[in-house]
Amino acid sequence: MRLEEEIKQSKKFSSEFEKLAVNILYTSSWLEAQNIQRFKPFGISPQQYNVLRILRGSAPKPLMLSDISSRMIDKNSNATRLVEKLRLKGFVKREVCESNRRQVDIIITKKGLDLLADIDTHNDSWGQSFKGLTKIEAEAINDALDRLRE
Amino acid sequence: MRLEEEIKQSKKFSSEFEKLAVNILYTSSWLEAQNIQRFKPFGISPQQYNVLRILRGSAPKPLMLSDISSRMIDKNSNATRLVEKLRLKGFVKREVCESNRRQVDIIITKKGLDLLADIDTHNDSWGQSFKGLTKIEAEAINDALDRLRE
DNA sequence: TGTCAATACTTGTATATACAATTAATGTTT
DNA sequence: AAACATTAATTGTATATACAAGTATTGACA
């Protein structure tokens, strides 16, 4: 459905760019709601899933907290507390780095890797397509979004 | 910068569609951070601004809470509490509807309208362009995002 | 008319985010 | 080596969100 209908907007947007900004925020909120449902059966949030993916990408090499922050989709979320949630569930472990005792090394555990594998098999179709969009279009939007952020 | 560089992703995305999902979430988070800064001098959050815009769009006709919810960018945010925040700052007023005492009519106040006018004059360039994106491209992405959500 | 369902909103609780302030360890400078 | 700056992470506080449960009012119908 067109954005204007979905948010029941009577007046036109002042520009195509303003509509684009709202459209990105709206579509993101829509995707996020889908992701919450997607990960709920596994007891984690989308951000926690994101952190686990980041750690799997680096495993078996650990990452420090600031590495995780810089790789996260939402840069402003609090890596310390997210990682602590994951640790309490046994999906990651933390170790104070010996060579630089300011930093904390985070590693995904076997249990964490198993969780990701489980999620992947149950969601293997996710992200392989979007209804109504061709691969060419997806590429074009990806390029445009990259340019939009400068 | 390309998404892969920004989130320091070493492995390729499994599909262009998966990258698109992440790109939308990432770009949305980037936009949201900009908006927080944009509205901070005026003492409101992006969602509160959104609610005020919705109410201005309907003024002088009031809207009930569920109308506001259905028009909001983030459908899951809590309209009751957002409106209460705005009421405490004097930007909206609430009245229990006489003909149906279950519903609450919300109207933007003069102070709320003045605030929006103030924000508009200080941000009049915002939303008129995105660096590196033409109007044609913005239109194409808007169409594609609308289709992506089915 | 009394009971039940539907509507509209509110509240409680857990979690998450924004941002500033704080702590601790390491580097740098003189 | 002492003082200061920088880096890395943690904590505190206010606000926001997700979701379920609750309240009050109205509508439906047997």
Distance CA B31, CA B132 (A): 16
Q: What average pLDDT does this structure show over A59-86?
A: 90
pLDDT exceeds 90 at position A56: yes
- CA–chain centroid gap for B5, Å, is 28
Cα-Cα-Cα-Cα dihedral sign, residues B20, B25, B28, B33: negative
CA angle (B99, B72, B37) in 5-degree steps: 130
pLDDT exceeds 90 at position B150: no
The verdict on a CB contact (< 8 Å) between A1 and B26 is: no
Residues of A whose CB is below 8 A from B1? 146, 149-150
The verdict on a CB contact (< 8 Å) between B22 and A128 is: no
Q: What average pLDDT does this structure show over A36-50?
A: 92
Label residue B12 by pLDDT band (50, 70, 90): confident
According to the model, what pLDDT value does residue B80 have? 94
Residues B117, B122, B126, B128, Cα dihedral to 10°: 70
pLDDT in tens, B24-40: 999 999 999 999 999 99
Structure tokens at B74: 């983030």
Per DSSP, the three-state class of B149 is coil
> pTM here?
0.92
According to the model, what pLDDT value does residue B124 have? 78
Question: Within an 8 Å CB–CB cutoff, is residue A12 touching chain B?
Answer: no
The verdict on a CB contact (< 8 Å) between B28 and A30 is: no
Query: How far lies A49's CA from each of A39, A56, B42, B141, in Å?
Result: 8, 10, 35, 27
Query: How far lies A22's CA from each of A74, A100, B55, B129, in Å?
Result: 18, 44, 17, 13
According to the model, what pLDDT value does residue B93 have? 94
Label residue A127 by pLDDT band (50, 70, 90): confident
Question: Within an 8 Å CB–CB cutoff, is residue A97 touching chain B?
Answer: no
pLDDT in tens, A91-106: 999 999 999 999 999 9
| Whole-number percent of chain A with pLDDT over 70 | 100
The residue lying closest to nucleotide C15, measuring its CA against C1', is: A45
Structure tokens at B130: 């995105």
Residues of B whose CB is below 8 A from A10? 57-58
Query: Other C-beta atoms within 10 Å of A18: how many?
Result: 17
Structure tokens at B19: 């990258």
Residues 22-51 of B with CB under 8 A from A: 22-33
pLDDT exceeds 80 at position B47: yes
According to the model, what pLDDT value does residue A42 have? 93
Distance CA A82, CA A63 (A): 14
